[in-house]
Structure 1
């Protein structure tokens, strides 16, 4: 078996798309005869507090499903205070720097980006040690930060981030991009760089659709995931017009907007919005079996971003109401996965909801069956991994 290391800022039991994505990569590499190890922070996401099993520890080594997971020290925080957030990032960056510098590492290393500083630290040390660096780019930073207005264009921070971005692209032997837009952007900077598309396909191993369409019930629309600034779920709740429609919105997740969302729901009960909190992934999927449609929002169109929820919920058979712009629109339309509303246009979104509310449950059920079959054929993680291995990416 060949050794390979994955460096990531997230890994289960942390929850969310990023942790799930890296876990699936690790498991698929293991299934294809690689001996896989992962380096990540002590578990703390999304609350920014160390999980009980990691409190008081500097590092922990675990074996999870035949993956060796090395968790190293971090000062965790999700504080809105910029200085505190910087200290948190620097804490893990420092731990990671010394770990990679002094520990023996495999010849092949997958580095997750973003976070940009962590990927820079990893690429810097690994390039000095002449390792094969496989950079896995899931979002384009600092471009995404500019579009989210988290960074000011032309500022010192922006210029520094651009330096970090170009450094990691230049030093990587191979780059995996989660979207065609990511690959296009990288080729605009380094035209000859080896880049490959690596979609965030799920690995549910679901051979038969388990969704149940409940007759004589409202259409259950749901959002499940991070309640952060980029997703704009709080703004979504404020602008939806569900009165008079046979639709309920159910929310699952945690994040920076959680408290605002809960306060809003408590004062707007006629809006038919229900908050369920965070559920473990398997429990969430079981809970969702009687739900109908997944809504996938982004607050603004983010170049390069394709939410993995499109693939995850499509693979379970859920129609998608997509409200994020960009390449995600193309995927939903191309595979007939549901509806697309123009990003940021709540009039268009509410018009789509009015159309959805007029659907009969039998029509929803037929959509579920079509989408499940389409996803089974098109969103195949095993085939994608085998093709990349055949191309000598890993």
Structure 2
């Protein structure tokens, strides 16, 4: 079977970010399927293009057995919301053009957000009768509207219209949480038989507790500290600043260190704010290569996952939660909804009300003061995610969906 993945942020070797489709492409190719990826040229974390892409519209690369077509997007996409929007629109147009050079695939898998990838999918559909699986990783434009990223009423109406067209054009809609399914069905956007559920997950062989490294802890300046790690985007929706507020409440506990790894529009403002407050119990490391992240996660003592206090985020499973569980790290969770249910059901950590620094600080103190309980939580999380969210098993479930769509079209 020929599988084409349309996804703007397929990672290059060494890039930081979500590697889910890198893993799926590798697994499916290993089973003998021909996998091609149409993606953007800019880094997911930084929005910056590598020098080899400057002045080039399409760059063909090979990622093992996977053909990767990196299409034009503007540089410095993360500098402002306007530049990011321009990047999304540019990819919608360039991806449709890039598809024209491919042999017709058996199935097209388009992943959103950004929802503008769906515009590229719709353009492709106009000249290629390819069956489509449209994936919903986040409820766009709902989350963008709820967080204030999109405020213009005309743009909001346009985005909701695009959302409806994407669901209508697809033969199957895959959602990453049951809450997404409920929302889509409640709004009448798709027939129940059309919606499937293959959740996010984690490679439990690549992410494991045994990767903990005392040498790495020394290199990062973590030696002798109880380290609570946040890894991921530093953007408007993430509200990483609440961790700085919690750190301020923990000033007198010198053994506790809050560390972050990742990038985004808020990283430099957060660094300036930490310096202004004189927070010596905070380290903002910036982005690290993807290959280093399993060892970095396993080398922390606990992991934090936080988002803005917003009902929209009650529907999401953040990747960082699965990564922490696979590495056997207890979780301090500042996200309500399905993620809270996951952590509490598995016994993998402690919940703190979103954007409540005192609750976050108290949860961190509980883990630091009872290391044996923290270790038990980490073990429970590892066991739960191995049984229920192993990425290799989920890749096979997803492949069944793709084969079914290709066969029935």
Q: TM-score, normalised by structure 2?
A: 0.87
Secondary structure of the residue aligned to 1:256 is coil
Preserved contact between residue 46 and residue 254 of structure 1 (Cα < 8 Å): yes
Which residue is equivalent to 2:174?
176
Which residue is equivalent to 1:258?
267
Bigger shift: 187-196 or 305-314?
187-196
> Deviation of residue 8 (structure 1)?
0.7
Find the partner of 2:236 among 205, 229, 233. Answer: 229
Preserved contact between residue 26 and residue 67 of structure 1 (Cα < 8 Å): yes
Change (3 A) 1:377 1:71: same
> Deviation of residue 127 (structure 1)?
5.5
Secondary structure of the residue aligned to 1:183 is helix
Where do 1:294-373 residues align within 5 Å?
294-301=303-310, 302-360=313-371, 362-373=372-383
> Deviation of residue 16 (structure 1)?
4.5
Preserved contact between residue 297 and residue 323 of structure 2 (Cα < 8 Å): no
Deviation per residue, 1:44-95 (Å, 9 max, x gap) = 3332221123223222111112111011222233355554444333322221
Preserved contact between residue 147 and residue 300 of structure 1 (Cα < 8 Å): no
Secondary structure of the residue aligned to 1:210 is helix
Which residue is equivalent to 2:295?
286
Preserved contact between residue 81 and residue 149 of structure 2 (Cα < 8 Å): no
The answer to whether the aligner puts 1:268 opposite 2:277 as a matched pair is yes
Number of residues of Structure 1 aligned to a counterpart in Structure 2: 390
Preserved contact between residue 337 and residue 371 of structure 1 (Cα < 8 Å): yes
Which residue is equivalent to 2:97?
98
The answer to whether the aligner puts 1:377 opposite 2:377 as a matched pair is no
Bigger shift: 55-64 or 65-74?
55-64
Task: Show structure 1 runs of 4+ deviating over 6 A.
Answer: none
Deviation per residue, 1:239-274 (Å, 9 max, x gap) = 442122342101111111111121122233345001
The answer to whether the aligner puts 1:185 opposite 2:196 as a matched pair is no
> Deviation of residue 294 (structure 1)?
0.5
- Distance in 2, Cα, partners of 1:325 & 1:270: 27
- Distance in 2, Cα, partners of 1:130 & 1:346: 52
Where do 1:1-394 residues align within 5 Å?
2-13=1-12, 15-18=15-18, 20-78=19-77, 81-101=80-100, 103-126=102-125, 128-152=127-151, 155-188=153-186, 189=188, 190-206=190-206, 209-210=209-210, 212=212, 217-240=224-247, 241-245=249-253, 246-301=255-310, 302-360=313-371, 362-390=372-400, 392=404
> Deviation of residue 383 (structure 1)?
2.0
Preserved contact between residue 346 and residue 380 of structure 2 (Cα < 8 Å): no
> Deviation of residue 342 (structure 1)?
1.5
Secondary structure of the residue aligned to 1:236 is helix
- Distance in 1, Cα, partners of 2:211 & 2:160: 45
- Distance in 2, Cα, partners of 1:12 & 1:82: 22
Bigger shift: 134-143 or 304-313?
304-313
Q: Which has a greater percent of helix?
A: 2
Preserved contact between residue 239 and residue 355 of structure 2 (Cα < 8 Å): no
State the structure with bigger RCO (CA 8 A, min sep 6), 1 or 2: 2
RMSD of Structure 2 on Structure 1 (CA): 2.6
Residue segments in structure 2 that go unaligned for 5+ positions in a row: 215-222
Q: TM-score, normalised by structure 1?
A: 0.90
- Distance in 1, Cα, partners of 2:150 & 2:164: 17
Change (3 A) 1:32 1:196: farther
Secondary structure of the residue aligned to 2:34 is strand
Bigger shift: 81-90 or 6-15?
81-90
Change (3 A) 1:355 1:146: same
Change (3 A) 1:131 1:270: closer
